[in-house]
Amino acid sequence: MSAKKDAIVNIGGMLGVRDDALAEKIRVELIRTEGFVTYGGLAGRDLGAIAQGLHEVLDEAYLAYRFAASAYLARKLEQAGLPVVKPAAAHAVYVDAGAALPHLAPDDLPGQSLACALYLAGGVRTCEIGNLSFGPGERRRQLVRFAEPRRVYTQSHIDYVGAIGAEVAAVATRLPAMRILAEPPSLRHFSAAMAPATPFPDLGP
């Protein structure tokens, strides 16, 4: 579990397993790489923030607000003309980039193309979840994740994202394939060098 997403903090997380032998291997590796099992490399203030965050994040009114905010973003993106995966999650809304960019094959990385277009059009930062993240050749959905930081965005921010989504949706069938120029041996979606196969259509102010 990423505590940054689910405990309203800026760092940290948790790992739970049911296998005692595996848990012991993880404890040993943790000591070697991060710190003892009681703090895992985190400062005391961060552990305290996680404890408080977990308390607050389980408040039913707060959770209802989170679901409502995601549902609102999903409606805005759908009204913009982007195919939204339903139901919306509490932490993010997912757009089906494969459906939005049907002219691109999975290995053309439609999710990355859509994510780049959103950034070029209005600085909207999203994340590809598809063949760039998980590797080529597989038949999987090509998604773009619109994550919602907790206690940050206002309704006007969401309306802005929807407006940028509409601009991009209008040119979606002209968005280019993305090509990988260089990539690390693992986790390539974090640091691969990429370029569009053809220029992006005119986007942005």
Output the pTM of the full model: 0.85
pLDDT given for residue 106 in this prediction: 94
Instruction: List, for residues 18-38, the tens digit of each pLDDT value.
Output: 999 999 999 999 999 988 888
Q: Does pLDDT of 178 surpass 70?
A: yes
pLDDT given for residue 153 in this prediction: 80
Closest CA to 126 of 134, 135, 114, 136: 114
Q: Does pLDDT of 154 surpass 90?
A: no
Confidence of residue 205 (pLDDT cuts 50, 70, 90): low
Higher pLDDT, 204 or 128: 128
Closest CA to 130 of 115, 112, 118: 112
Higher pLDDT, 150 or 191: 191
- Residue at 130: amino acid letter: G
**What are the structural domain ranges in the chain?**
3-57, 60-196
Q: Which residues pair with 172 in a beta bridge?
A: none
| CA pair distance 68, 167, nearest whole angstrom | 24
CATH fold of 60-196 reads Aspartate Aminotransferase, domain 1 (3.90.1150)
- Could you tell me the CA-to-CA distances from 59 to 54, 63, 65, 90 in Å, in that order? 9, 6, 10, 14
Confidence of residue 138 (pLDDT cuts 50, 70, 90): confident
Closest CA to 177 of 106, 88, 122, 92: 106
